[in-house]
Amino acid sequence: MSEAIVFAVLGLSLALFVIGKWRYDIVAILALLVLAIAGIVPAADAYKGFGHPAVITVAAVLVLSRALYNSGVVDVIAGWYSRIPEYLTLRIAALSGLTAFLSAFMNNVGAVSLLLPVAVRVSSRSGHPPSRYLMPLAFASLLGGMTTLIGTPPNVIISNFREEQVGVPFNMFDFTLVGLAITAAGVAFIVLVGWRLIPSRPTPLTLGDTLDIESYMTEVRVPEDSSFVGQRLGDIEEFADEDVTIVGILHRGLVYRAPSSFQIIDGNDVLIIEADPEDLHAFVESSGLELQGSADTQPGISQTSGSDNVAVVEAIVAPGSRAQDRSAREMRLHAEYGLNLLGVSRRGQRFIRRLRHINFRVGDVLLLQGPQEVVQSGLPRLGLLPLAERELRIGQRRRLFFPIAVFAIALLLTSFGLLSVQVSFVAAVVILLLTRIVTLQEAYDAVEWPVIVLLGAMIPVGQALETTGGAARIAAIFAEWGGFLPPWAMLGVVLVTTMLLSAVINNAAAVILMAPIGINVAQNMGASLDPFLMAVAIGGSAAFLSPIGHQSNTIVMGPGGYRFADYLIMGFPLVVVIVTVCIPAIMWVWPMGI
């Protein structure tokens, strides 16, 4: 009975992960609560996952990534990249190699977030579409994360599974030989073939030489003294020609979608229009209408971007951003952060709602306005990534080398087995907090709390799959189906199954569910656990088949103008390359024999 309940909960959880109506951390908590209420997970153990070494390590790595950013070391490296000659293949090779290297020692999403504005700037200057750069950037971050214990959460999770089974975790560089072989093959594929498969999606330049992702949904107010008051909506449409599309109107307190061209315009009516920033700017200047910002009071804001002290920037909603799943009104964007929301772009989707009521999603691009100094401080607080050209910030010498030294010492202590990774990395975080390389607020902001909640909740759920015999049953099915297969093929079955699972759910959750199954498959075969645990780790990180498999993929979808199928076009052959290289590499480094 318990086993059936666990399978039912996992099946429903997987469905909810794929549907995406509820965020994955909420789904994980619900799954844990159901198993706890059913008595399958003891109440006293229900929340032990939040103190699990894997959870602590992942949180510490995220804070250390923020410290490296604050030090300016990544900006120095990015500055070097911007000086590479303008040969597309050479620049993609350098970007992929640089991203993979950074991702080996810091959070994947952090590496993508740091290099995304650099890639966008290089794209705009060279005239190449951003789609050529950004998917290689995301995929290289996943490849690089495979090479060290701290490169990606799946590796940390797998290390702890090994410790529970044999008493010894994987060390810092136990992943390196297999990871480097896969990374080298993957980066070579991206550079020589992969980027050529990506559909070219040219994107025009916009205000301030920033990148126009799609046309923005924007609001403009008709002043009471406007010449358009009393005229038909069609008169504005004729005036705007084809550069601006009116998709809705707020008239006397009601929002009308696809309004009639014969609608008579009143003073203070708000038009919901679709336009790119360049056409929007020209339209507002010539028509005398006013941009309607996201202030918390009415009527709207009539500021324009003409003041030297006012900046208009485009910024992308990153995973874990404070803006994620919230609206400008809910965040009190103007009152709390001093920023006005002028437009929202979401891969061509039209919004027939007031701009300040739209809930932002990861990958949305926001057109924001505010004083220069407010914009510079507000974007990091919100967790938004600017797509405008920016000067790279070079850290002071003390701040440049001290965090690197602390990080390196923590790595050495872990590599030589003197301290466990969760102890050495937390100690490094404490030192950086005491020396104010990272502030306490920055440390809390750096932690991706949804991922932490996901891990803390799913670890007991994964353990329930094993304790109820569910993992053994699935492993027996694997053995029955693959009884005629050689050991290397069974290894491939575990690898590919994990890959497919990571394409539709968070890769950490995929690894938590597949690790017990891989362990049982190895035990049924009388083989060593290590190659199967490695296969699960690689499969969990190889989330190349969809934009939802990993946050790095999601974050570049908007700026690159990608469609869902684009990931499959480049991701599927990359997966074939990885499987081809991975299986012999694992069997060479981690033999099957016990």
pTM: 0.65
pLDDT at 298: 38
Q: Where are the beta strands (DSSP E) in 228-318?
A: 245-251, 254-257, 270-275, 290-291, 310-317
pLDDT at 392: 35
- Top mean pLDDT of 11-25, 221-235, 435-449 is at 221-235
pLDDT at 136: 94
| Strands 245-251 and 254-257, sheet pairing | antiparallel
Strand partners, 219: 272
pLDDT at 78: 63
pLDDT at 137: 92
Q: How confident is the model at residue 505 (pLDDT cuts 50, 70, 90)?
A: confident
What's the maximum distance between 2 C-alpha atoms anywhere in the chain? Answer: 85
pLDDT at 431: 93
Which of 186-190, 191-195, 406-410 is predicted with the least confidence, judged by mean pLDDT? 406-410
pLDDT at 202: 53
| Residue 475 or 56, more confident | 56
Give, as one character, the DSSP assignment of residue 49. G
Report d(CA 14, CA 514) in Å as an integer.
13
Whether 18 has a pLDDT exceeding 60, the answer reads yes
Identify whether the C-beta of residue 343 lies closer than 8 Å to the C-beta of residue 329.
no
Helix (H) or strand (E) holding 489: helix 487-502
pLDDT at 394: 33
Q: Can you tell me the mean pLDDT for 211-234?
A: 75
- Top mean pLDDT of 39-48, 255-264, 451-460, 506-515 is at 39-48
Amino acid at 115: L
pLDDT over 70 for what percent of the chain?
Answer: 83
pLDDT mean across residues, the chain: 79
Radius of gyration of the chain from its Cα atoms, rounded to whole angstroms? 26
pLDDT at 380: 75
pLDDT at 36: 92
Report d(CA 425, CA 148) in Å as an integer.
14
Report d(CA 446, CA 572) in Å as an integer.
32
pLDDT at 588: 94
Question: Residue written as tokens 């057109």?
Answer: 367
Please, how many CA atoms are within 13 Å of residue 10, restricted to the half-sphere of its CB?
25
Whether 207 has a pLDDT exceeding 70, the answer reads no
Which of 106-115, 252-261, 341-350, 549-558 is predicted with the least confidence, judged by mean pLDDT? 341-350
Q: How confident is the model at residue 355 (pLDDT cuts 50, 70, 90)?
A: low
| Strands 254-257 and 270-275, sheet pairing | unpaired
Q: How confident is the model at residue 337 (pLDDT cuts 50, 70, 90)?
A: confident
Identify whether the C-beta of residue 255 lies closer than 8 Å to the C-beta of residue 191.
no
Phi-psi region of 573 (alpha: psi -120 to 50; beta: other; left: phi over 0): alpha
pLDDT over 90 for what percent of the chain?
Answer: 18
Which of 32-36, 88-92, 454-458 is predicted with the least confidence, judged by mean pLDDT? 454-458
Helix (H) or strand (E) holding 70: helix 53-71
Report d(CA 525, CA 259) in Å as an integer.
67
Give, as one character, the DSSP assignment of residue 340. E
Report d(CA 544, CA 535) in Å as an integer.
16
Report d(CA 511, CA 454) in Å as an integer.
12
Q: Domains in the chain, please, with CATH?
A: 2-201+407-589 (no CATH), 212-386 (3.30.70.1450)
Closest CA to 406 of 430, 422, 423: 430
Whether 389 has a pLDDT exceeding 50, the answer reads no
Q: Can you tell me the mean pLDDT for 258-281?
A: 78
Identify whether the C-beta of residue 496 lies closer than 8 Å to the C-beta of residue 579.
yes
- Top mean pLDDT of 110-119, 403-412, 471-480, 547-556 is at 403-412
- Collect all residues with Cβ–Cβ distance below 8 Å to 11 and sequence separation of at least 6: none
Tell me the pLDDT tens digit for each residue of 163-177: 888 888 998 889 999
Q: How is residue 514 written in tokens?
A: 């597949």
Which of 75-84, 104-113, 128-137, 406-415 is predicted with the least confidence, judged by mean pLDDT? 75-84
Q: Can you tell me the mean pLDDT for 17-23?
A: 75
Q: Can you tell me the mean pLDDT for 103-114?
A: 78
Tell me the pLDDT tens digit for each residue of 447-495: 878 778 887 888 888 888 778 887 777 777 776 765 677 888 889 999 9
Whether 559 has a pLDDT exceeding 90, the answer reads no
Q: How confident is the model at residue 224 (pLDDT cuts 50, 70, 90)?
A: confident
Report d(CA 371, CA 341) in Å as an integer.
13
Which of 36-50, 96-110, 175-189, 518-532 is predicted with the least confidence, judged by mean pLDDT? 96-110
Q: How confident is the model at residue 316 (pLDDT cuts 50, 70, 90)?
A: confident
| Residue 284 or 492, more confident | 492
In degrees, rounded to 5, the angle at the alpha carbon of residue 116 between the alpha carbons of residues 84 and 548 is: 135
Closest CA to 257 of 217, 306, 224, 229: 217
pLDDT at 305: 36
Count of H-run helices and E-run strands, the chain: 25, 9
pLDDT at 535: 95
3-state secondary structure of 449: helix
